[in-house]
C-alpha cells in the first residue's frame, strides 16, 4: 500500500514538471504546507559575565557588581550592605590591589558554575591567595550571579566577617645632625597665664621660668598680656616637655595666675624647631579614614600631614604587627587567617643644626621672609627658616592652647604655614646681577675691563627713563665703572645696558637661558618638602630685556634656589641638590639611608670668569664704596656677598642679601646664606644685618652686634604690641657730604 502511494506521488510530480509553462490545467495546485520555525536562543557566555563581575571587583565598582546579581540575591541583601561587606573585607585585610583569573566554566541549560582564583595584595599580609566558585543562573535570557558571602572569601561563607588586631610601633623621633631631638613622643604641659590672678612680686620669676621652658624671650611673653594686666581670661604662652616642668613643679605651682595642663603628645621642642621642615601630625581626617584603614592604620592614630612627618611616614610609623581573624555571626573567633610581626620605626636624622636653626629663627623674628643656610660644598641644609613661623604643637587637640591659637595658623594675611624658603616666589632684584654679569662675561661681548658710565638715569630706550638707586637716594652717580665695579656699586644703568645689549646681540633667550642654567625656574630636587619652581620667562621685547638685566619683570625665584646658585658661585661652579636628611636609622643601629652629596648641574661659567664674579662679590662687602660695606665693618669672618632690593608692585620693596663665607676652617664648613625680608626696604639696611647675625651665630657662637633697629638683642627700639609685629628700622642717617673719592655710604 505504501509503495503504491509513493509511486502515485512520483508520477504526479513528473507530470507537473513536464507540463508546459503557463499551460492551462484543470488540476488544482498542490498546497504548500508551512514549515515549523524553531527559535533557538543560546545563553551568553558564562565566562563573560564572570569576567565582568571580577573586573568590577578589581575596580571596586560595587554598583556594577550588584547589578549583575540575580533578583533573588538582590532581594536578600541591599546594595549598601553588599558594598559594605566588600569594604569591610578590604579594610581589615589592608587590601591594596586585587588580581584574578577565571579557571573554568561548566555550563548547563539554565545554570553554570565558574571557578576563579583571586590574589589579595595587602599592606599588612603581603599576598593572600584563594580559589572560589561563582554560581550563575539563567534569568530572563541572561546569566546572573547567585551571590553568597563565600564569593568574597571562602572563610566568610555563612555571614562570617574579618577582624584585625594591630600592634602599632611607637612613632620614631626626628633629630638634628648631632642627636638633639627636634620631635619626640612625650608627655608635655600646655602653659598659660590669667593676668588678673598674677601677683606682682612673682612676675619676674614667672617670666624667667616660662622663658626657660618655652624658649621664648621674656619680652615676648610679657607682650602677650602687658596691655591688659587685668584680663581675667586665659592667655596661652606655649608648651614644655613634662620632665622639665616636673623638675620645677613645686616652684611653678606656687605662682599665682600660671596654669599648667598635662597631656601626652607628639612633642615639637621649643615651640617648633624648623617647623616648616619637620611638619606636624594630625588625627586622621574623617574623609580619609577609609584610605588609612586600607593602609593598616587604626582610626584613632595620628599621621604625618606636612614636612618630614608626611614624607617620612613609612619610616617614622614603622611596620605594624597584625593578626587577621575570622569571626562568626555570634562574635566568636573561628580561625586566624594570617599573622605578621611588627617591625620598629626608624628615626630620621636631619642635616639641621638645632642651635643654629633656633638662632636663625630668632634672627628673622618679626619679619615676613626667609633664611636658608647651606654648606658650600655638599648641598647639606644647616638651617632653614620661614617667618612668621608656627607652633606644630597646636595641631594636637589635646593641647589646651590649641583651641585658642590654632585658628591663627590659617590667617590669609600672614600665612604662617607657607614655607617661604621653598614656596615663596619673589622677584630677585639686584641679586640677579650676578647672573647678568656671568652672561655678559660668557657672551664674548664683555670682559672684566669693560667700562660703562654709570649715570643717575638710564635713557637708552627711546621714551623711557629709568632711575639708578643713587637718583632715588639723592646721591651722586657712581661714574665710570668697570663691570666688576658695576656689581660692587650695584649700578642699575650698567645692568639695564647689559640686559638690552645681550637681547639685541645674543638673542631673546640668552640671559634667561643663563638664569635657567643657574638653577632658576626649576625644582632644586629637595624632595622632602614642597617647593615652588618659580618662573624665568624669556623677554618679549626690549623693555622686558632691560628689566631682566636687574632681576625685575615677571621673574620669580625662591630663596632655596638662590642659596643653591650662591653656593655654586662660591664653590667653583657646582650646583648641589639641597638635602635635609642626614640619615635614617633603625633602633638596632642599622643605617637605612646616609647622606651623600648629589651634583645636579654645573654653572656654564669659566673658572676665570667665575673668579671675576667672586672678587666683585668680595668688593661689595670690603670695598668702602661697596653697597654692603657698613653692614660688615668689624666682622671677623671673610664674606662674599651681594645686596638686593626687589621692587614689589603690591607694596614696599623686598630686601635681599646673599653670600657665602670663605674661612676654610677644619671645624666649620663654609656656608652660603640667603636672606629675604618681605616689604622691608633696602637690602643693605635690613637683609645685610640679618645675614651678618647668621654668620656671627654660626662662626662665633652668638650675636656680636645689635641690629640698627634693636635696643637690645631681640628687643626693638620701639616696643611693639606683639613680639611678632614686623620691626621698622629707623630711617638711615643723612649721607656724608660727597667727596671726590666718594666716601658716602651707598644704600642698595
Distance CA 582, CA 602 (A): 23
Residue 114 gets which letter from DSSP? Answer: E
Q: Could you tell me how far CA 675 lies from the centroid of its own chain? A: 21
Q: Are residues 564 and 622 in the same domain?
A: yes
Does residue 99 belong to any structural domain of this protein? yes
- Type and span of the H or E element at 435: helix 433-443
CA distance linking residue 607 with residue 603, whole number of Å: 10
* % of residues, the chain, pLDDT over 70: 90
Judge whether 698 lies within some domain: no
pLDDT band at 159 (very low <50, low <70, confident <90, very high): very high
**295 has a pLDDT exceeding 80:** yes
Would you say residue 109 has pLDDT above 70? yes
**Domain around 123:** 46-159
The more confidently predicted of residues 62 and 683 is: 62
Three-class secondary structure of residue 484 per DSSP = helix
469 and 617 in one domain? yes
Quote the Cα angle for 664-377-672, to 5°. 75
Q: Phi, psi (5° rounding) for residue 543?
A: -65, -45
With a CB cutoff of 8 Å and minimum separation 6, the contacts of 573 are 602, 603, 605, 607, 610
Query: Using one digit for the tens of pLDDT, what is the confidence trace for 305-335?
Result: 999 999 999 999 999 999 999 999 999 999 9
Mean pLDDT of the 581-589 span: 95
With left for phi above 0 and alpha for psi between -120 and 50, is residue 516 left, alpha or beta?
alpha
Instruction: Decide which of 319, 347, 375 is a domain's last residue.
Output: 347
Q: Are residues 338 and 476 in the same domain?
A: no
Domain membership of residue 374 (yes or no) is no
> 496 with 467: CB under 8 angstroms?
no
Lowest pLDDT segment from 103-112, 272-281, 348-357: 103-112
Same domain, 430 and 459: yes
Three-state DSSP class for 326? strand
Q: Is the bond leading into 388 cis (omega within 30 degrees of zero)?
A: yes
Placement of cell 633696602 in the chain: 682
Q: Read off the pLDDT of residues 402-432 as tens digits, 9 standing for 90 and up.
A: 999 999 999 999 999 999 999 999 999 999 9
pLDDT at 124: 94
Assigned domain for 607 exists: yes
Contact 98, 118 (CB under 8 A): yes
Helix/strand/coil for 158:
coil
What distance in Å separates the CA atoms of residue 20 and residue 110, rounded to the nearest whole number? 56
In a domain, 491, yes or no: yes
Q: Give the pLDDT score at 585.
A: 97
Q: What is the CATH number of the domain that holds 55?
A: 3.10.450.100
Separation in Å, CA 727 to CA 206, 369, 424, 682, 689? 26, 13, 21, 14, 13
472 and 617 co-located in one domain: yes
d(C-alpha 468, C-alpha 627), whole Å: 13
Please count the other Cβ atoms lying within 10 Å of the Cβ belonging to residue 742.
17
With H, G, I as helix, E, B as strand and everything else as coil, classify residue 182.
strand
pLDDT on residue 36? 52
Number of domains in the chain: 3
Find the CATH number of the domain harbouring 319. Answer: 3.90.1310
562, part of any domain: yes
pLDDT for 740: 31
316 and 205 both lie in a single domain: yes
Which residues share a beta bridge with 132?
Answer: 116
CB-based contacts of 111, cutoff 8 Å, min separation 6 = 135, 136, 137, 138
What backbone torsions phi and psi does residue 535 show, to the nearest 5 degrees?
Answer: -155, 130
Residues 555 and 427: beta-carbon distance below 8 Å: yes
Same domain assignment for residues 516 and 634:
yes
Kindly tell me the burial class for residue 111, based on how many C-beta atoms sit within 10 Å of its own C-beta (0-12, 13-18, 19 or more): middle
> 689 in a domain, yes or no?
no
Q: Which residue has the cell 668689624?
A: 634
What rounded mean pLDDT belongs to the chain? 89
**Which stretch of DSSP H or E encloses residue 239?**
strand 235-241
Q: Which of 217-226, 515-524, 609-618 has the lowest mean pLDDT?
A: 217-226
According to DSSP, the residues that pair with 322 across neighbouring strands are: 166, 340
| H/E segment holding residue 470 | helix 469-472
Residues 186 and 128 in one domain: no
Statement: residue 721 has pLDDT above 60: no
**Lowest-pLDDT range of 33-42, 129-138, 426-435, 473-482:** 33-42
Q: Say if residue 435 is in the same domain as residue 544.
A: yes
Final residue of a structural domain among 622, 655, 688: 655
Residues 224 and 142 in one domain: no
pLDDT in tens, 533-555: 999 999 999 999 999 999 999 99
pLDDT the model gives residue 737: 31
Cα–Cα distance for residue pair 56/51, rounded to 1 Å: 8
Burial (0-12, 13-18, 19+ Cβ within 10 Å), 497? buried
What pLDDT is recorded for position 44?
57
What is the CA angle 686-688-693, rounded to 5?
Answer: 100
Residue 554 CB contacts under 8 Å (≥ 6 apart), including other chains? 535, 537, 544
Determine, yes or no, domain membership for 356. no
- How far is Cα of residue 701 from the mean position of the Cα atoms in its chain? 31
Q: What is the pLDDT of residue 4?
A: 52
For cell 538582590, the residue is 74
pTM (2 d.p.): 0.85
Do 120 and 181 have their domain in common?
no
Same domain, 134 and 231: no
Report the CATH number at residue 603. 3.40.710.10
Query: Does residue 21 carry a pLDDT above 90?
Result: no
Q: What is the pLDDT of residue 7?
A: 52
Integer-rounded Cα radius of gyration of the chain: 39
Among the candidates 287, 322, 347, a domain finishes at 347
Amino acid at each position: 500500500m505504501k509503495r503504491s502511494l509513493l509511486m502515485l506521488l512520483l508520477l504526479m510530480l513528473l507530470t507537473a514538471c513536464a507540463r508546459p509553462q503557463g499551460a492551462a490545467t484543470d488540476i488544482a495546485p498542490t498546497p504548500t504546507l508551512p514549515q515549523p520555525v524553531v527559535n533557538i536562543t543560546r545563553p551568553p557566555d558564562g565566562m563573560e559575565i564572570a569576567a565582568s563581575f571580577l573586573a568590577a571587583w578589581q575596580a571596586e565598582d560595587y554598583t556594577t557588581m550588584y547589578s549583575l546579581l540575580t533578583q533573588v540575591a538582590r532581594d536578600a541583601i541591599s546594595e549598601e550592605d553588599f558594598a559594605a561587606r566588600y569594604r569591610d573585607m578590604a579594610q581589615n585585610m589592608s587590601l591594596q590591589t586585587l588580581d584574578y583569573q577565571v579557571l573554568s566554566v561548566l555550563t548547563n541549560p539554565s545554570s553554570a558554575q565558574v571557578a576563579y582564583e583571586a590574589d589579595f595584595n595587602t599592606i599588612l599580609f603581603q599576598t593572600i591567595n584563594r580559589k572560589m566558585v561563582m554560581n550563575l543562573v539563567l534569568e530572563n535570557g541572561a546569566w546572573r550571579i547567585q551571590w553568597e558571602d563565600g564569593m568574597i572569601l571562602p572563610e566568610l561563607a555563612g555571614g562570617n566577617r574579618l577582624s584585625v588586631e594591630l600592634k602599632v610601633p611607637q612613632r620614631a623621633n626626628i633629630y638634628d645632625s648631632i642627636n638633639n631631638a627636634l620631635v619626640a613622643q612625650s608627655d608635655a604641659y600646655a602653659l598659660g597665664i590669667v593676668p588678673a590672678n598674677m601677683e606682682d612680686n612673682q612676675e619676674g620669676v614667672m617670666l624667667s621660668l616660662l622663658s626657660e621652658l618655652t624658649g621664648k624671650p621674656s619680652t615676648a611673653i610679657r607682650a602677650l598680656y602687658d596691655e591688659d594686666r587685668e584680663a581675667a581670661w586665659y592667655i596661652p604662652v606655649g608648651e614644655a616637655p613634662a620632665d622639665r616642668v616636673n623638675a620645677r613643679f613645686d616652684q611653678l605651682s606656687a605662682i599665682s595666675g600660671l596654669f599648667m595642663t598635662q597631656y601626652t603628645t607628639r612633642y615639637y621642642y621649643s615651640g617648633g624647631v624648623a617647623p616648616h621642615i619637620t611638619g606636624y601630625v594630625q588625627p586622621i581626617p574623617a574623609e580619609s579614614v577609609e584610605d588609612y584603614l586600607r593602609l593598616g592604620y587604626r582610626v584613632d592614630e595620628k599621621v604625618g600631614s606636612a614636612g618630614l612627618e608626611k614624607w617620612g611616614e613609612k619610616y617614622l610609623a614603622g611596620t605594624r604587627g597584625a593578626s587577621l581573624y575570622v569571626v562568626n555571626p555570634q562574635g566568636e573567633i573561628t580561625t586566624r587567617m594570617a599573622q605578621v610581626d611588627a617591625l620598629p620605626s626608624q628615626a630620621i636624622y636631619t642635616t639641621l643644626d638645632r642651635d643654629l636653626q633656633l638662632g636663625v629663627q630668632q634672627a628673622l623674628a618679626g619679619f615676613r621672609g626667609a633664611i636658608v643656610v647651606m654648606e658650600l660644598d655638599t648641598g647639606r641644609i644647616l638651617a632653614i627658616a620661614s617667618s612668621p613661623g608656627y607652633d606644630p604643637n597646636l595641631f594636637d587637640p589635646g593641647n589646651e592652647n590649641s583651641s585658642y591659637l590654632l585658628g591663627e595658623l590659617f590667617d590669609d594675611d600672614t600665612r604662617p604655614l607657607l614655607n617661604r624658603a621653598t614656596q615663596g616666589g619673589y622677584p630677585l632684584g639686584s641679586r640677579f646681577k650676578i647672573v647678568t654679569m656671568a652672561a655678559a662675561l660668557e657672551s664674548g661681548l664683555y670682559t672684566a675691563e669693560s667700562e660703562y658710565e654709570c649715570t643717575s638715569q638710564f635713557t637708552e630706550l627711546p621714551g623711557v627713563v629709568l632711575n639708578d638707586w643713587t637718583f632715588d637716594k639723592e646721591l651722586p652717580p657712581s661714574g665710570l665703572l668697570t663691570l666688576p665695579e658695576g656689581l660692587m656699586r650695584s649700578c642699575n644703568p650698567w645692568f639695564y645696558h647689559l640686559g638690552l645689549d645681550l637681547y639685541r646681540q645674543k638673542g631673546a633667550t640668552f640671559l634667561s637661558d643663563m638664569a635657567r642654567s643657574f638653577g632658576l625656574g626649576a625644582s632644586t630636587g629637595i624632595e622632602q618638602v614642597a617647593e615652588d619652581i618659580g618662573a624665568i620667562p624669556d623677554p618679549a621685547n626690549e623693555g622686558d630685556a632691560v628689566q631682566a638685566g636687574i632681576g625685575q619683570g615677571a621673574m620669580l625665584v625662591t630663596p632655596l634656589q638662590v642659596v643653591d646658585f650662591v653656593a655654586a658661585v662660591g664653590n667653583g661652579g657646582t650646583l648641589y641638590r639641597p638635602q635635609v636628611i642626614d640619615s635614617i636609622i633603625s633602633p638596632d643601629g642599622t643605617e637605612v639611608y646616609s647622606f651623600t652629596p648629589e651634583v645636579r648641574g654645573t654653572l656654564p661659567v669659566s673658572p676665570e670668569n667665575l673668579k671675576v664674579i667672586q672678587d666683585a662679590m668680595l668688593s661689595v662687602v670690603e670695598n668702602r664704596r661697596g653697597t654692603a660695606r657698613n653692614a660688615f665693618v668689624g666682622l671677623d669672618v671673610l664674606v662674599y656677598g651681594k645686596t638686593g632690593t626687589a621692587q614689589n608692585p603690591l607694596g614696599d620693596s623686598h630686601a635681599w642679601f646673599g653670600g657665602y663665607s670663605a674661612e676654610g676652617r677644619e671645624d666649620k664648613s663654609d656656608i652660603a646664606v640667603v636672606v629675604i625680608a618681605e616689604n622691608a626696604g633696602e637690602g643693605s639696611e635690613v637683609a645685610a644685618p640679618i645675614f651678618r647675625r647668621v654668620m656671627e651665630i654660626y662662626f662665633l657662637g652668638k650675636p656680636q652686634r645689635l641690629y640698627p633697629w634693636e635696643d637690645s638683642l631681640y628687643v626693638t627700639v620701639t616696643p611693639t604690641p606683639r613680639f611678632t609685629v614686623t620691626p621698622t628700622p629707623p630711617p638711615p642717617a643723612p649721607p656724608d657730604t660727597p667727596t671726590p673719592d666718594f666716601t658716602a655710604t651707598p644704600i642698595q
